[in-house]
Structure 1
Amino acid sequence: MSVRDKVALVTGAGRGIGEAIADALAAAGASVAVCDVDAEAAGKVAARLAERYGVRAAGVGADISDSAAVRAAVERVTAELGPVEVLVNNAAVDVIGRFVDSTEDTWDRIISVNLRGTITMTRAVLDSMIERGGGRIIHIASDAGRVGSSGEVVYSATKGGVIAFGKALAREVARHGITVNSVCPGPTDTALLGQVAEYSQKMYDATVRAIPLRRVAQPGEIAGVVAFLASDGAAYMTGQTLSVSGGLTMV
């Protein structure tokens, strides 16, 4: 189930789940483009991967809500590493709070990064995948997009949109040998989950108690599932939505 020598681009890979995914793919032998809005963080992660695993890695700064920045990032990755064969759309933003207290500016930012950014990045690599007759596209969605999450109403909407986008795209591009799947993390030990605790410790504690495995996930536990979907072992899986949530969501 190797991804050795494949070129993988991971968005939001400067920290958290994205960094763990980049690490897992590099450990499996992939050349990894670490893409993040924080160019310095992306560069540091890429340098660490190259040193630790002896793979080619590039740090790329890009705000995926900016289509011109996305195109430039993909062009740079292609020039430095080669055509993107595995795309992991991980980058996302959220603001925890009641929907009635939110503003249009907040809605626009969440939608432009989480949904439109995913669509834009996917479009930027798709022609090359079609020309080469294969590819892997993996969206990091969320169980919030499957069942909803209090305090994350617009975020839930965007993640539901990502799931639907992935299913529909999977139908269109299957004939080109391209698979599209979504991974839905449950509560994971990241800065985003820290926002929940800051907003309401009671909400955080109740969420953890509701997880059958009685703990939140570590980023590496999400990354392992992504690495599998990127591999030849998942060649016959497409249009699927996988929850990695310790049993919190069983749908």
Structure 2
Amino acid sequence: MNGRFGGRRAVVTGAATGIGAAIARRLADEGAHVVVADIDAQGAGEIAREIGGTAVKLDVTDPAAVHAALGGEPFDVLVNNAGIDDWGWFTDVTPQRWRRLLAVNVEGTFACTQAVLPGMQRAGYGRIVTVSSEAGRIGSKGDAVYAAAKAAVIGFTKSIARENARFGITANCVAPGPTETPMVQSIREKDGKVLAAMIAGTQLNRLGTTGEIAAGVAFLAAPEASYVTAETLGVSGGMGLGA
């Protein structure tokens, strides 16, 4: 298949909706065969049929299931996108909410990366892109747990990049700002003022689109990004600059 991902196999987690679905579409449009992995089997199936990919029902918090699903035939590209948020003031956060967010956002990234790495190492090639967040770099009011989780995957990615450079594997993060997704819609419904403040914190004064995030991921996942590793690419309308 033509395109810069022609002949490549990619897996995108959390790909049934939002940013993950946009990434799956973008990689498929550029020639990749995409495994659409999501706990939502119906949604994953719909995206897979649309792009000519393969759907896999996957709970990233279940390491055994992750290794069974992803540890077989090697992948050229892994996009760790599966993630959840549960916006709320830190004083209201329960230990259960804390553990749930870390399980999906951090432990899920750990499990998926560990499942695909041996195949990439044997092949001498791999691109790992993890969707973090500007919240993980600058913090986020009302989102302390999510920010902590997204900071964790940045540190994790830098370490994976160091360990695997000798195998021809790169590992990078994309850090979206506020983006028009179901997750951001939930913040709008809980407290519209908070979302307005997030948008005002960007230099472009608007929400990003899922397609804009997918473009950043596609760059880092592409063969030509061979000299880019251990980086975090902000796709956030300049949010990291502050006011």
Band of TM-score, shorter chain = over 0.9
Aligned ranges 1:195-206 → 2 under 5 Å: 195-206=186-197
Aligned partner of 2:168 in structure 1 is 177
The alpha-carbon deviation at position 248 of structure 1 amounts to 1.2
The whole-number CA distance in structure 2 between the counterparts of 1:16 and 1:154 is: 21
Alignment equivalent of 2:50, drawn from 32, 48, 51: 48
Aligned ranges 1:225-244 → 2 under 5 Å: 225-244=216-235
Q: The residue matched to 1:187 in structure 2 has which SS?
A: coil
Aligned ranges 1:97-136 → 2 under 5 Å: 97-136=88-127
The whole-number CA distance in structure 1 between the counterparts of 2:197 and 2:143 is: 16
The alpha-carbon deviation at position 250 of structure 1 amounts to 3.2
The whole-number CA distance in structure 1 between the counterparts of 2:77 and 2:102 is: 23
List structure 1 segments (4+ residues) > 6 angstroms apart after TM superposition: none
Alignment equivalent of 2:6, drawn from 4, 7, 16: 4
CA RMSD of the aligned region, Å?
A: 1.2
Alignment equivalent of 1:73, drawn from 64, 69, 72: 69
The alpha-carbon deviation at position 202 of structure 1 amounts to 1.2
The whole-number CA distance in structure 2 between the counterparts of 1:99 and 1:214 is: 26
Unaligned runs of 5+ in 2: none
The alpha-carbon deviation at position 209 of structure 1 amounts to 2.2
The whole-number CA distance in structure 2 between the counterparts of 1:93 and 1:100 is: 19
Q: The residue matched to 1:195 in structure 2 has which SS?
A: helix
The whole-number CA distance in structure 1 between the counterparts of 2:218 and 2:110 is: 21
Q: The residue matched to 2:172 in structure 1 has which SS?
A: strand
Alignment equivalent of 2:32, drawn from 30, 33, 57: 30
The alpha-carbon deviation at position 48 of structure 1 amounts to 0.5
TM norm structure 2: 0.96
Aligned partner of 1:15 in structure 2 is 17
Aligned partner of 1:165 in structure 2 is 156
The alpha-carbon deviation at position 247 of structure 1 amounts to 0.8
Q: The residue matched to 2:239 in structure 1 has which SS?
A: coil
Aligned partner of 2:57 in structure 1 is 61
Aligned partner of 1:53 in structure 2 is none
Corresponding residue pairs, total? 240
Q: The residue matched to 1:234 in structure 2 has which SS?
A: coil
Q: The residue matched to 2:183 in structure 1 has which SS?
A: helix
Aligned ranges 1:239-250 → 2 under 5 Å: 239-250=230-241
**Does 2:177 correspond to 1:191?**
no
Q: The residue matched to 2:203 in structure 1 has which SS?
A: coil
The alpha-carbon deviation at position 72 of structure 1 amounts to 2.0
Q: The residue matched to 2:37 in structure 1 has which SS?
A: strand
Unaligned runs of 5+ in 1: 51-56
The whole-number CA distance in structure 1 between the counterparts of 2:68 and 2:43 is: 18
Letter in 2 for 1:211: T
